[in-house]
Every structure is written in C-alpha cells, then in structure tokens.
Amino acid sequence: MTTKDAAFTGSVPLTYETHLVPLIFEDYAADMAKRLAPRKPRRILEIACGTGVVTRAMSAALPGVTIVATDLNPAMLDQAKAAGTKGKVEWQQADALALPFPDASFDAVVCQFGVMFFPDKAKGYAEARRVLKPGGVFIFSVWDRIEANEFADVITQGLARHFPKDPPRFLARTPYGYYDRATIARDVAAAGFKPPQVDTVAMRAYASSPSLPAVGFCQGSPLRAEIEARAPQGLKAATDAATAAIAAKFGSGSIDGKIQAVVVTALA
C-alpha cells in the first residue's frame, strides 16, 4: 500500500458519498448495525468512519448510544458531519494505529472497510483491543477478493486496457487486497483477541446506469490519484473507459452486480 492509497481529499469525499455509499456501503452498514444491536453497547468507537454511513446506521439503530466516530482524513470527517446523524456523535480525527483514548473506554469498536488501509494491521487491532473494556467486541469488515466484487473487477480490467503499459492497481492492491481468512485470524489473534467469528456476506449492488459505478470508483476513491498520475488530464477518458467496460459486461441501462465482504467479530 502506498501513502496515496489512503488519501481521500479534494472532491473525492463528496463523490464517494453520492456514488459509492449507496452503491456498495449502505447495505453493509445496516448489517453491521444489526450485528451490534443485540450487544447493547453504551459507548462505541468507530474507526475509519469515512463519510459516516455506518455512523448513521448505528445512530438510528441504537438510540441513546454514544458514538465517537474517527477518521484519519479531515475531508471525510467534514463530509460525514455535513450529512449528520440522529443521535449523539462525537467526531474526531484520529490515527487507528495510535488512538487518542484511554484503555478500556469503549464497549465496542467498529470499522467498516477501513482496516485494509492500516499500514500495520496487527498494531491497529492491538489499539482496538486496548481501548475496549473486558468482554467488549470488535466488529470489522473487509472486501473479499476482487473477483467476488464484480463492478470493481470489471473496472480494474477496463482501466488495464486503457493504460496497458502501467495498469492502475489500487483497487486490487488495497481495498480488495486483504481478504485471506487465515491471515486475518492470525492478525486478530496477535492483538490479543479471542478466536474471531469470520462470516462471508454476499450482496448485490444496484446502479441506475454503468456510469454510476465508473464515476464512483474512478473519481470517488484514491484510484483517481492513480489515474491522474498516468494522465493528468485523462480522468474523464479513464472514467469513460470504465463506463464502457461496465456496459459491455452488464448492459447500458439499470444494472446490478455481486459484491462480497468478510465480516469479523472478535471479543476482548
């Protein structure tokens, strides 16, 4: 992973929120809130909250709970704050590998599709373990292999044809690059958690047109930086190439494709 892989800046947060959140994140946010609700936590730490899709889901599903929502990127936090939530949320910039919170201060720690960006997964998990109360729960999700996530896979293939000499590999390398169950379980155990429950969760992503996932991935993620590094004025052409690849695979009207995640539940 490169430093740019974790850079969500400029117009990326707004495009992420308007395109990618409804496409691939909202249903998994609801699933995460549903998993957390029976545990009745009173104080939750969310790591890598992004634009707040899980924050909003937890706030709606768990009335009265206090959520501390953190992210490394101020621009993502600003977008999350602008969207707002129903319940009490404290927004704070924080590095997942050096959390600015006391030991044993949360009932639950949650991270949806963020740990893939941690430079040191085991260290990030150890920080989550440190701030959890005894018996607290850490729930996080990662994307499964890119071949199980059709829109991302087809866009990666389309961009490889568009940039044959130097294909952008951000999606396969980082968001869809940390899925091996044995590796995840090993990293979680190294942080001091009990053996985790690991679930594979498949869903469908729906889009009104092929351009929606193309714009979302090419312009609403750090993939944009990879594209612009290869062609500073070529973002539109690359997005068009991704749109054409999606249309060739799924059709030119309303489309849907498989998405698949790995959801991990670990007890302190």
Got the DSSP string for 64-131?
Answer: T-EEEEEES-HHHHHHHHHH--SSEEEEEE--TTS--S-TT-EEEEEEES-GGG-SSHHHHHHHHHHH
> Which one is predicted more confidently, 85 or 109?
109
pLDDT at 11: 81
pLDDT at 209: 98
Candidates 182, 169, 159, 126; CA nearest to 241 is: 159
pLDDT at 88: 84
**What's the rounded Cα separation, in Å, for the pair 213 and 102?**
40
Lay out the sheet containing 106-112: strands in order across. 88-93, 66-71, 43-46, 106-112, 132-143, 255-267, 197-207
Mean pLDDT of 109-125: 97
**What's the rounded Cα separation, in Å, for the pair 209 and 254?**
5
Whether the Cβ atoms of residue 130 and residue 103 lie closer than 8 Å to each other: yes
Q: Is 36 helix (H, G, I), strand (E, B) or coil?
A: helix
DSSP β-ladder status, 132-143 and 66-71: unpaired
pLDDT at 9: 65
Give the confidence band of 91 by pLDDT, cuts at 50, 70, 90. Answer: very high
Whether the Cβ atoms of residue 8 and residue 72 lie closer than 8 Å to each other: no
**What's the rounded Cα separation, in Å, for the pair 58 and 47?**
13
Residues contacting residue 229 through CB under 8 Å, at least 6 positions apart: none
Q: Which residue has the tokens 């199980």?
A: 148
> Which one is predicted more confidently, 39 or 86?
39
Share of the chain above pLDDT 90, in %: 93
pLDDT tens string 221-261: 999 999 999 999 999 999 999 999 999 999 999 999 999 99
Mean pLDDT of 136-160: 98
Using alpha carbons, list the distances in angstroms from residue 194 to 105, 129, 134, 190.
Answer: 19, 10, 12, 10
pLDDT tens string 36-81: 999 999 999 999 999 999 999 999 999 999 999 999 999 999 999 9
Cα dihedral 46, 47, 52, 58, rounded to 10, equals -20
Q: Is 12 a residue whose pLDDT tops 90?
A: no
pLDDT tens string 205-232: 999 999 999 999 999 999 999 999 999 9
Give the confidence band of 8 by pLDDT, cuts at 50, 70, 90. Answer: confident
Largest CA-CA distance found in the chain, in angstroms, rounded: 54
**What's the rounded Cα separation, in Å, for the pair 200 and 111?**
16
The DSSP bridge partners found for residue 200 are 262
Candidates 57, 106, 53, 65; CA nearest to 89 is: 65
Domains, the chain, in order of start with CATH, read: 3-267 (3.40.50.150)
Give the confidence band of 98 by pLDDT, cuts at 50, 70, 90. Answer: very high
Mean pLDDT of 144-164: 98
Give the confidence band of 172 by pLDDT, cuts at 50, 70, 90. Answer: very high
pLDDT at 130: 98
Mean pLDDT of 140-146: 98
